[in-house]
Chains A and B, each alone.
Chain A
Amino acid sequence: MSQDIYVLIEHNQGLVAEISHVLLAAGNQLKAINSSKLVAILLGHQAQDLAQGLAADQVLYVDHPNLKEFNQDAYLKTLAEIINARQPHQFLLGHTSMGSDIAGILSITLDLPLTSSCRLFTADGNAVCQICGGKILVEVKTPASSSLVTMIPGGYKPEIHPTDKPPVENFTPPALDDLRTKVIEIIQPDSNDVDISKEPILIAVGRGIQTQDNLELAEKLAGALKGVVCASRPVVDQGWVPATRLVGKSGKYVKPKVYFALGISGAPEHAEAITNSDTIIAVNTDPKAPIFNLATYGTETDLFDLIDPLVEKIEQARSG
């Protein structure tokens, strides 16, 4: 068994997901403990260029047509082969639609301990995990033998080395036929809509907006501030706002100059997607809403009382 730290790289449509750069940052901290290597595991088809910029000592690349998109069975067979052959000390995956689908299965089939929802590692290399909606932290001891960890964002800033390309080693995949899971089609979100992850001013609405009609308040404010409306999951689930405007774990991660949150409680799945905002202003009548622990400014004023007068003042200031 080696002391190396392995990180599974997630990518879609030629772009490496930000979580992978967070994993690499964690991996770089971990490798220093045992003076070992950090290896990025990249599975794909004609995707070797994604190795560019990865903050790892080495990239292990597996190329196969059946790895073009994320396919559970194909990934599982390949990763099992890699882990058995190389026996890394720790294998880090994102706590995501990709990582969470396979970590648990690798854990049981290869009989390796798994800890999930890890936010960061201590100086000793123990994982600190966040559970119960972020209310509880659990420190778990990393075993000496091989183990798996899924990580959530928030504990490390993404680490990228844009001008570097680590040495790439090609790894021959096992036979990847007879897969029980098949990708029929990847559906990209409507690209005609704005990309909120690139917008500097976002007006976000949550459950507190109560009805579809009230969205017009958010639209008014967005118009006045020349921003864009986005929403948390409950609002999108109701169909009041298209999925392209979803901010959250299963939506977009945003990094605006100003994030104006109306009636959003700040649950972890949403919070993790807005931590890179420059300034968060939260409007929520519940003083205990977790969003107030994230926001720069907050007010308990009722959004239904606040918006119209605020919009009026903004318009006056612009015209005056």
Chain B
Amino acid sequence: MKIVVVIKLVPDLVEELNINPDGLSLDTAWMRMIINEFDDHALEQSILLKERNNAEVIALAPGYDGVDEVLFTAIAKGADRGIRLSGDIPNANNHALAHGLAPVINALQPDLVLTGVQANNDLDGAIGPGLAACLKMPFIGYVSSVSLEEKSIQVRKEFPGGVVSKMSVTTPAVLGIQASEQPPRYVAVSKVRQVMKTATIEEQPISMAGNTGGFEVVKYSQPETSTHAKMITGDVDQVADQLMGIFKELGVL
């Protein structure tokens, strides 16, 4: 069984996000790009499938700054190959990436394509459904468990309120992972450094010309946090007393 994992890097929200003076994009000067948390779960899920069902796992990532370390880490966790995709990546939206990635993924002939269900900077939908459309494969998103049954893939698809839809899908298929069956594993720095010496990241160019499919941006802005909680201060006793007053006011006591 062959699994392709598509990994995007997204802005790290720990850092301050700044908008470019023209208001049309984010200032990348101080931006830290980190692995999309959901893609980390997709990677973990594919390694779990490899451990259970003897699959080959190929990690693909568009060539953002810092992508090599992410791909080496994927290999250290158990991926068999890491491929960096080169092209005008920073300006590509998900539609463009999906079109660009499709021929590369087709050539690999995977049984499953796993990717995170969404990313924090998605503006034109997530990349998973886009890939499915370009690859003409079925798609199931919000997946929290994947198992290989005799003739199909079975997944648990999450809905609000704890409702779960147990579904089956024919292969090849694209899955949008919400949560891997266990949290993404830790990999020691020494292991990643060792992989950096012994493994190589392959590179493949992708073409995304004219495939934007998105809307025209009018402007980026930051929300005004117009409201803020009324803060209760003092020592523990004073705070507890004030809370008691609030409870009485609300009729809770």
Q: Which residues of A contact B (CB under 8 A)?
A: 12, 17, 69-70, 72-73, 96-98, 100-105, 107-109, 111, 113-117, 126-127, 129-143, 147, 150, 180-190, 197, 201, 225, 237, 243-244, 246, 249-253, 257-258, 278-282, 291-301, 305-306, 309-310, 313-314, 317-318
- In the docked arrangement, what's the CA distance between A189 and B61, Å? 36
- Beyond A135-B13, A183-B166, A252-B162, whether A100 also contacts B141 by CB under 8 A is yes
A-B contact pairs, 23 of them (CB 8 A): A72-B138, A72-B140, A101-B176, A104-B94, A104-B124, A107-B213, A114-B215, A130-B223, A180-B138, A180-B173, A181-B167, A183-B165, A184-B154, A186-B165, A189-B163, A225-B247, A249-B160, A251-B162, A257-B252, A293-B229, A297-B232, A301-B239, A313-B244
> B121 near A: Cβ within 8 Å?
yes
- Verify B130–A113 contact, CB threshold 8 A: no
Given A108-B213, A292-B229, are A135 and B160 also a contact pair (CB < 8 Å)?
Answer: no
A318 to B239, Cβ gap below 8 A? no
Provide the bound-state CA to CA distance between A26 and B179, in Å: 31
CB-CB < 8 A to B225: which residues of A?
A: 293
For B102, the closest partner residue in chain A by CB is A108
Interface residues of B in 184-208 (CB under 8 A from A): none
When the two chains form their complex, are residues A253 and B160 in contact, meaning their CB atoms are under 8 A apart? Answer: yes
Contact B167 A103 (CB under 8 A): no
Report the bound CA distance from A107 to B95 in whole Å: 9
**Lowest 6 A-B CB distances belong to which pairs?**
A104-B129, A189-B162, A298-B229, A108-B133, A104-B125, A180-B138
- How many residue pairs bridge A and B at CB < 8 Å? 264
Tell me which residues across on chain B come within 8 A of A279, comparing CB atoms. 246, 250
A101 pairs with B129, CB closer than 8 A: yes
Q: Is the CB of A114 within 8 A of B124?
A: yes
Do A140 and B95 touch across chains, with their CB atoms under 8 A apart? no
Contact between chains at A141 and B216 (CB < 8 Å): yes
B178 CB-CB contact with A under 8 Å: yes
Q: Are A250 and B142 within 8 A (Cβ)?
A: yes
Q: Which of B's residues lie within 8 Å of A, judged by CB?
A: 11, 13, 17, 19, 26, 94-95, 98, 117-118, 120-126, 128-130, 132-134, 138-142, 154, 157-170, 173, 176, 178-179, 183, 213-223, 225, 227-233, 236-237, 239-241, 243-244, 246-247, 250-253
- Most chain B beta-carbon neighbours within 10 Å: one of A104, A184, A301: A104
Q: Nearest B residue to A299 by beta-carbon distance?
A: B232
Asked if B17 contacts A181 (CB within 8 A), the reply is: no
A97-B218 contact in complex given A108-B130, A182-B169, A306-B236, C-beta closer than 8 Å: no
A280 to B213, CA, bound (A): 40
Bound form: Cα–Cα A292–B232 in Å: 12
Question: Which of B158, B162, B166, B222 sits near A244, CB closer than 8 Å?
Answer: B162
Residues on B with beta carbons closer than 8 Å to the beta carbon of A189: 161-163
Does A184 contact B95, Cβ atoms closer than 8 Å? Answer: no
- The distance in angstroms between the C-alpha atoms of A84 and B155, with both chains bound, is 31
With both beta carbons as reference points, the residue of chain A lying nearest to B138 in the complex is identified as A180
**Which residue of the partner chain, among A116, A131, A132, A249, contacts B125 with CB atoms under 8 Å?**
A116
- Give the Cβ gap from B84 to chain A, nearest Cβ, in Å: 24
Q: How far is the CA of A182 from the CA of B140 in the complex (A)?
A: 10
Query: Roughly how many angstroms separate A126 CA and B218 CA in the complex, as a whole number?
Result: 9
Are B240 and A306 closer than 8 Å at their CB atoms?
yes
- Given contacts A17-B160, A113-B213, are A69 and B222 in contact (CB under 8 A)? no
Q: Tell me the smallest distance from the CB of B128 to a CB of chain A, in Å.
A: 7
- Interfacial chain A residues near B157, Cβ < 8 Å: 97
Question: By the criterion CB–CB under 8 Å, are B215 and A103 in contact?
Answer: no
Asked if residues A104 and B221 are in contact (CB atoms below 8 Å), the reply is no
Contact of B129 among A102, A140, A299 (CB under 8 A): A102
Tell me how far the C-beta of A136 lies from the nearest C-beta in chain B, rounded to whole angstroms: 6
Smallest CB separation, B226 vs chain A (Å): 8
Q: Find B98's partner among A108, A131, A134, A297 (CB 8 Å cutoff).
A: A108
State the CA gap A317–B158 with chains docked (Å): 43
